[in-house]
Structure 1
Amino acid sequence: MGEWLVDAEVLARSRFVLSPLIETVATLRLLTASPAPARRDGRPSPAAAFRARLTADPFVRAWAAAGVGVRWTPDFLSRPPRHATPTFAGELARVRATPAPEARADLATACGGRLPRALDVPDPAGRAADLLDRVWQGVVRPDWPRRSRVLEADVVGRVHRLSRHGWAAAVADLGPRTRWLGNGRLRVNGADRPARDLTGADLLFVPVGGPNGWVAWELPDRYAMIYPASGTALTDGPGPAAPPSAPDPLARLLGSNRAALLTLLDAPRSTSHLAALTGLGLGSVGGHLKVLLDAGLVTRRRAGASVLYRRTPAAEALLGAGGTPRTADG
């Protein structure tokens, strides 16, 4: 499934959606693909400790050993969301309702064609749903407010890019092999397979934390591109990283919130984008930006319906000096 054929109608209906379940699947992929990194002090991170508890289950050990989700993610685990704001419970219920023969076939495909004995259980969809629920409750749910803000910020920026530069720019960095080829051809991965015609289908784009994405579908008429959100990375555990912190001297000079906003303005961003990244209210972001604008540290310009802010050379000099302004004495 290397290329999808998408006409203007499919593109017009397509949308970006956040999915708690698919974020949980992405987190599970990271937890089982390789050991979680240790903390700087050498002690196991919370993610490593959670992974150790998780893999005490023979089903999970077999899952990790078979590389489920690394080379191929079973279709029933990450079907495209049916709603604009899906809930984890609603999506998990769909996983749990998968008939056993269908779940076994999907797992066998993900395992390279043969299902390991430890995964060949009476209710594989139910066991997989239990596994996802453990990852959601233990790792993703406590961090979901932060993760969702970062994922929403990616969507805001990508929609803005789409409105200004078209689909080629919007999908350019969705994956290492993703390209808009023109003439209704979207390359989704490097697979050497016949193109899939999506005429009449719904197409969704779903951002996740972590370094990798994949494609998903619910045949015959729902498809999704799951992609790593921009600006996300691993910190102490899987998921989107918090926005970069401002240098301490700059925070003391400007205040922590204004310094954080200035640090984020290495590229043009709107107030709504900044609010999503920082968790500050729109009014608070707007007030801080006005102060930075009056001080000559940011500029603004209108782009369609949005007003975008970016830091000035004076702000770059502040950041380049480690956040410490230079005095007349040098």
Structure 2
Amino acid sequence: MGYWKIDTEALARGRFAVSPLAETVASTLALRSRRKQPGLEEWQHAHQRAFREFVAEDGFAQAFLDAAFRPRWNADFVVAPPYRTDRTFHDELRHVRETPRDVALADLGTSRAEAKGTPLDVPDLANRCADILEWVWTHMVRPDWTRRRWILESDIVARTHQLSSHGWAAALEGLGPGVRWLGDGRLRINALDNPPREIADAELLFIPSATRHSWVGWDEPHRYAVVYPCSGVLASPEPATTPTALRRLIGPARASVLALLEAPKSTSQLVALTGYTLGSVGGHLRIMLDAGLVRRSRSGRSVLYYRTPLGDDLARDDA
């Protein structure tokens, strides 16, 4: 079993963060896949043809993607965790561009001899790789980024709330297939028979994304990250689990909001998830507060709404 042994100080500094580059990598994986990505079906349908045409016309792009993203393995320089000072996609991409050629070749699983005469045999290898990711970001992720960012931040707010209330075991629950908090400073990463990795005096990040799978990245020995499937990724305006009887009782819009409050969320996050206006969401929340279906509490600078036991019963009951 592969796991990280995290010392007390590194764990105390652990944080959840949004990464535009990680989201771009996750989107690239979804576009390459022939399987439908839950929550991303419409987005895949809208962009997959253009992506495949772009790759087919560029021999370097095909070679890079084939080498960088393989089953159970990603090229390290492409999935390295962001720095604390990184604020934008291009802040993160700059580190990819600055990767020395030999390091990029090694991360792609290719030696100088193996690269010779192939599309990867270019002097500005890392820069060309970064260009492919920038193309995906510019044409396919950035137009949807505002909405995605709110959804990713919703996951972070909910997990941070769990962390403050119940500790790391609760916050990391359901982080991805094979990922589990084992206690005693041990975080299981996968089921592979790898020796434990000691993490001390380092920054530890947990990054939600629109990925079907979790993966890890690092810039040893300074930064380590786990990228995991966002629990509410690109949820539809009216969740399929909203009971019919509940929609009839309190209306479809209010039922949709109540269904989304299984985990705590702010009004801004509910706006992003439902597509309703801020005033509409606020009005629904006030009515459900008065009815005892939801409660609210402050978590940092955010005011979070969550279901009461009565709200839980209504959201589950389709009698």
**Amino acid aligned to 1:300:** R
Q: CA deviation at 1:252?
A: 9.0
Share of identical aligned residues, percent? 46
Q: How do residues 1-330 of structure 1 correspond to structure 2 at under 5 angstroms?
A: 2-34=2-34, 45-56=45-56, 57-66=58-67, 68-83=69-84, 86-108=87-109, 117-232=118-233, 240-245=234-239, 257-265=253-261, 267-272=262-267, 274-275=270-271, 277-278=273-274, 285-295=281-291, 298-300=293-295, 308-310=306-308, 311=311, 313-314=313-314, 316=316, 320=318
Partner SS state of residue 164, structure 1: helix
**Amino acid aligned to 1:262:** L
In structure 1, the residue matched to 2:41 is: none
Q: CA deviation at 1:282?
A: 7.0
- For each residue in 1:44-102, what CA deviation from the matched residue of structure 2 results, as whole angstroms up to 9, or x when unmatched? 92222222222221122234445725431111112211126620111111111111111
Q: CA deviation at 1:177?
A: 1.2
Q: CA deviation at 1:283?
A: 7.0
Q: CA deviation at 1:224?
A: 0.7
- For each residue in 1:140-194, what CA deviation from the matched residue of structure 2 results, as whole angstroms up to 9, or x when unmatched? 0001011111100110111111122211122221121112122111111223222
- For each residue in 1:195-242, what CA deviation from the matched residue of structure 2 results, as whole angstroms up to 9, or x when unmatched? 11111111011111121121111112111111111132xxxxxxx344
- For each residue in 1:240-259, what CA deviation from the matched residue of structure 2 results, as whole angstroms up to 9, or x when unmatched? 34454587997798566534
**2: CA distance between counterparts of 1:3 and 1:279?**
39
**2: CA distance between counterparts of 1:18 and 1:304?**
18
In structure 1, runs of 5+ residues without a counterpart are: 38-43, 233-239, 322-330
**1: CA distance between counterparts of 2:18 and 2:85?**
8
Distance 1:242 1:134, change over 3 A: farther
Distance 1:170 1:66, change over 3 A: same
Q: CA deviation at 1:313?
A: 3.9
In structure 2, runs of 5+ residues without a counterpart are: 38-43
**Amino acid aligned to 1:157:** A
Contact 1:3 1:186 (8 Å CA) reproduced: yes
**1: CA distance between counterparts of 2:67 and 2:98?**
23
**Amino acid aligned to 2:19:** S
**Amino acid aligned to 1:309:** R
Distance 1:79 1:255, change over 3 A: same
Contact 1:207 1:229 (8 Å CA) reproduced: yes
Distance 1:157 1:127, change over 3 A: same
- For each residue in 1:103-162, what CA deviation from the matched residue of structure 2 results, as whole angstroms up to 9, or x when unmatched? 1110116x9x96592333322211111100110011100010111111001101111111
**2: CA distance between counterparts of 1:83 and 1:263?**
34
Contact 1:175 1:212 (8 Å CA) reproduced: yes
Q: TM-score, normalized by length of structure 1?
A: 0.78
| Count of matched residue pairs | 302
Contact 1:3 1:185 (8 Å CA) reproduced: yes
**Amino acid aligned to 1:182:** G
